Amino acid sequence: MKIKFTGAAGTVTGSCHYIEIEDKKILLDCGLFQGKKEVEDLNYEEFQFDPTEIDYLFLSHSHIDHSGRIPLLVKKGFKGKIYATKPASDLCSIMLMDSAHIHEVEAEWKTRKALRKGEEEVLPLYNTKDAEESLKYFKPILYNQKVKIDENITLRFKDAGHILGSAIIELWIKENGQEEKLVFTGDLGMKNKPILRNPEIVEECDYLIIESTYGNRLHEEVEKRTEKLVDILVDTVKKNGTVVIPSFAVGRTQDIIYELNKYYDGHETETTKILKDIPVFIDSPLATKATEIFNKNPQAFDEEARGYIMKGDNPLFFKNLHFTQSVDESKALNISTEPKIIISASGMCEAGRIRHHLKHNLWRNNAAVVFVGYQADGTLGQRLKSGEKEVKILGEEIKVNAKIYSIEGFSGHGDRDDLIAWLKELKSAPKKTFIVHGEEDAREDFAETIKSELGIDTIIPKKDEEFEVTLEKVKSLGHEDGRVLFKSLKRITEEENELIEIEKVHQLKEKLNELKELFNKTTDITDGSLKEELTKKEYNKINNRIIELEKSIVNLTMSSGK
């Protein structure tokens, strides 16, 4: 089995791992590279495999950094099957279309600029037609069902508790008559996340690919997240101000709706009395569609969320919650001076309707902006969070007079201690553990923590680094049947390839010497005649083996140029 880490290794985004077994080629995720320009440029590079040859794509979840290159994969000739949970497939149907739309708009804008310069038109990475086409390849399956994909591959999705439909992928792979289990965590959620179940545990695996986003950090304020949010809302509303919450359309927005509903439901205080009268606007078409998909998939909710449904209360709706649709409705929010709460995307304020709301509210003394998610370096969100007093939005200089808050407790990822606790559920150490999906320092620190806490050695694969897992049959130590006693794993890089070849020559030469010795022992050295105990047949066998080995050495030496 070969594993090649073509994304989320060396970059956090672009999750995509390529696996090759005897007669099948598999992908785990096919995500978009997101972030700085040089990272996003990777989207335009050729895939590290031939998309037409991929048999199966197993998708951990719908986030674009895990799914966003699927339309491109299909555009480049993929004809296999895409397995995902049902909620993940449902979410992909809106998120891939949204991603395609963003690429189209961006390409149009770049084209206009290019044409003015006398340059050629810029084509989108993929368009909405490609995205629509790619949806036909999805095969939704249930959590916790062992699905026999073919004779040699069995798949099971366990809940990863990270976003609706997120999965830990368990794969049982048969090769050379031997079955091994590979587990890919995808992104692991944190415990007690709103709406979702806690990440499920895995008790055994041979090979593990684990994420490390928060591999060296701990979450703060998890318990106090809702109280803190409510305090900010009440404080701002009392001053007749508007609260603007930049939020990711899928996941975080529903978390906030859920937490507010839960708070209103559980408390009958002065605070809830004030808040219940304040309108909350979800001003993002994608967030609205995503909320509908959440409502269609309550089977993936945790017990608490299902409890609300059983009581007849939709946990993702409350009085005074409004979903705005048209641009006019969105604009109207900025004309009214009534106190209100606006939840809008994008979460890092780089695009979308949120920029209008910031432009109209940042300058106001009585307004507040609350960040509830990660803000990447260089984004408008990060600049506001770090306290910049003036920012340029939609071509205008805007003074920042509003209060800027940040609540860290709404993360989608488990922190270092959650990840370690998850690993501790394994009954025995995996034969190999690969750390992916983290900044370099997070991956390295996490590797050290795993080593010190669990005594497990890990591998931090580089981008496009390939590993080969080989079975070595050893016939000794009481194992008469010659079954596999140990496995060796080789890391293959170009320089190392050469070393492997040289090593092979050495090993062959050693075997050859052993055989020659045996041969000499069993034949009479002086005249070459056979000793009694060695039959003619055995003699020929050994002789043939020596000739074979000599040939192999010649071939290897010639191919490696040594």
Note the residues at the interface with Zn ion (CB under 5 A): 63, 187
Q: Are 216 and 257 in contact (CB under 8 A)?
A: no
Instruction: Tell me whether residue 180 or residue 187 sits nearer to Zn ion (CB atom).
Output: 187
Instruction: Tell me whether residue 63 or residue 69 sits nearer to Zn ion (CB atom).
Output: 63
What does DSSP assign to residue 349?
S
Q: What is the distance between the terminal CA atoms of the chain, rounded to a whole angstrom?
A: 27
CB of 348 to Zn ion, least distance (A): 15
Omega within 30 of 0 (cis) for the link into 346: yes
Could you write out the DSSP letters of every residue in 229-276? HHHHHHHHHHTT-EEEEE--TTTHHHHHHHHHHHHHHH--SHHHHHHH
CB of 417 to Zn ion, least distance (A): 19
Instruction: Tell me whether residue 63 or residue 225 sits nearer to Zn ion (CB atom).
Output: 63
Instruction: Tell me whether residue 104 or residue 187 sits nearer to Zn ion (CB atom).
Output: 187
Instruction: Tell me whether residue 63 or residue 197 sits nearer to Zn ion (CB atom).
Output: 63
Tell me the residue type at 57: L
Q: Looking at the DSSP assignment, which residues form a beta bridge with residue 317?
A: none
CB of 162 to Zn ion, least distance (A): 6
Instruction: Tell me whether residue 63 or residue 360 sits nearer to Zn ion (CB atom).
Output: 63
Instruction: Tell me whether residue 63 or residue 385 sits nearer to Zn ion (CB atom).
Output: 63
CB of 65 to Zn ion, least distance (A): 7
Q: Are 254 and 314 in contact (CB under 8 A)?
A: no
Q: Looking at the DSSP assignment, which residues form a beta bridge with residue 398?
A: 391
Q: For tokens 């008790």, what's the residue?
A: 203
CB of 377 to Zn ion, least distance (A): 19
Q: Are 274 and 233 in contact (CB under 8 A)?
A: no
CB of 279 to Zn ion, least distance (A): 31
CB of 66 to Zn ion, least distance (A): 6
CB of 437 to Zn ion, least distance (A): 8
Quote the crossing angle between the two packed helices 225-238 and 252-266, to the nearest 10°: 80
Q: For tokens 């299909």, what's the residue?
A: 74
- Per residue, the 3-state secondary structure of 456-473, as one string, reads CCCECCCCCEEEEEEEEE
Dihedral pair phi/psi, residue 83, rounded to 5°: -100, 130
Quote the crossing angle between the two packed helices 354-361 and 327-335, to the nearest 10°: 10
Instruction: Tell me whether residue 15 or residue 458 sits nearer to Zn ion (CB atom).
Output: 15
CB of 509 to Zn ion, least distance (A): 50
CB of 302 to Zn ion, least distance (A): 18
Instruction: Tell me whether residue 43 or residue 324 sits nearer to Zn ion (CB atom).
Output: 43
CB of 34 to Zn ion, least distance (A): 11
How large is the C-alpha radius of gyration of the chain?
29
Q: Are 251 and 373 in contact (CB under 8 A)?
A: no
Instruction: Tell me whether residue 156 or residue 162 sits nearer to Zn ion (CB atom).
Output: 162
Which residue minimizes CB distance to Zn ion? 63
Q: For tokens 């920042």, what's the residue?
A: 400
Instruction: Tell me whether residue 161 or residue 241 sits nearer to Zn ion (CB atom).
Output: 161
The rounded distance, in Å, linking the Cα atoms of 63 and 69 is 11
Q: Are 510 and 483 in contact (CB under 8 A)?
A: no
The rounded distance, in Å, linking the Cα atoms of 4 and 47 is 12
Instruction: Tell me whether residue 187 or residue 466 sits nearer to Zn ion (CB atom).
Output: 187
The rounded distance, in Å, linking the Cα atoms of 184 and 188 is 10
The rounded distance, in Å, linking the Cα atoms of 391 and 404 is 13
Distance of CA 384 to the CA centre of its chain: 28
The rounded distance, in Å, linking the Cα atoms of 298 and 309 is 8
Instruction: Tell me whether residue 130 or residue 187 sits nearer to Zn ion (CB atom).
Output: 187
Q: Angle CA(516)–CA(521)–CA(527) in degrees, nearest 5?
A: 95
The rounded distance, in Å, linking the Cα atoms of 436 and 440 is 9
CB of 120 to Zn ion, least distance (A): 35
Task: Pull the structure tokens for residue 515.
Answer: 């055989």
Q: For tokens 């004030």, what's the residue?
A: 274
Omega within 30 of 0 (cis) for the link into 560: no
CB of 59 to Zn ion, least distance (A): 11
Instruction: Tell me whether residue 31 or residue 80 sits nearer to Zn ion (CB atom).
Output: 31
The sign one gets for the Cα dihedral 407, 412, 416, 417 is positive
CB of 64 to Zn ion, least distance (A): 9
Return all residues near 204 (Cβ < 8 A) that are at least 6 apart.
Answer: 181, 426, 427, 428
